[in-house]
Amino acid sequence: FLKGKSAIVTGSTSGIGLAIARALAAEGAAVMLNGFGEADAIERARGEIAEASGAAALHDGADMTKPDEIARMVARAADEIGGPDIVVNNAGIQYVSPVADFPLEKWDAILAINLTSAFHVMKAAVPAMRAKGWGRIISTASAHSLVASPNKSAYVAAKHGLVGLTKAVALETATDGITVNCISPGYVWTPLVEAQIPDTMKARGLTREQVMNDVLLAAQPTKQFVTPDQVAAFALFLCRDEAAAITGANLSADGGWTAQ
């Protein structure tokens, strides 16, 4: 149902973003991938996505901490695949530390990648969507956009901010055929979660198993990690015309975490 549409998915060389890019491509969208990683692996993913969509698939290595690179990426998408009709603000990083020790450069990087990059993408993408009278802006927030955990001050602040940005832009675009929403997953098993286990072990003096069961899945009543494909299916639904009334929403897929 997305044939003829184009999509940019930031942070789509791994995890949730890659699953969303694959899901959009499977419905025929031309996709611009973004993110870091090993060149061969990125090229393999790009090739598979192009084959699945039957449309163009590109990769742009724009660094989400750099506003000029973000603007250039959106302009490149417009030139090479049109639109963008769909943008998914998904790039994100995590850093775990008590606030008193939290390195300023980590705070700045998390705010830049997890929050400010979405502002730059929206600013660049909204005019083309408005001109077409159709657009979908989806941001991967987190259960941490609704509730906090200790030692994640920057991440929690950025994700709460992303929900505010989403609401404001949803109101600005409400009569333009554009919807703007957040999806807020609980813990999804991806490299981002894997990478924070050692830091959490250190910060809280726990074993790997204790972090998995007592910290991560302790918050999630289903006792199951959310899967990247479940998040991707949710994002795909928001791209449907049937989802036109859903805007300015922060939609949870968190195994019941924030029901507590």
Place of tokens 């995890």: 15
CB 117 to ligand NAD: min, Å: 7
CB 118 to ligand NAD: min, Å: 9
Q: What is the CA 98 to chain-centroid distance, rounded? A: 25
* For ligand NAD, the closer CB: 54 or 222: 222
Find all residues with CB under 8 Å of 213, minimum gap 6, and list them.
Answer: none
Alpha carbons 146 and 154: distance in angstroms, whole number: 14
* For ligand NAD, the closer CB: 4 or 256: 256
CB 244 to ligand NAD: min, Å: 25
H or E, element range at 138: strand 135-140
**Contact residues: ligand NAD, CB under 6 A:** 11-17, 34-37, 63-65, 90-93, 113-114, 140, 142, 185, 187-188, 190-193
* For ligand NAD, the closer CB: 48 or 176: 48
- The catalytic residues are 155
Q: Which of 66, 70, 65, 48 is nearest to 57 (CA)?
A: 48
Residue 111 in tokens: 């705010």
Q: Which residues pair with 226 in a beta bridge?
A: 188
DSSP codes, 25-89: HHTT-EEEEE--S-HHHHHHHHHHHHHHHTS-EEEE---TT-HHHHHHHHHHHHHHT---SEEEE
* For ligand NAD, the closer CB: 189 or 237: 189
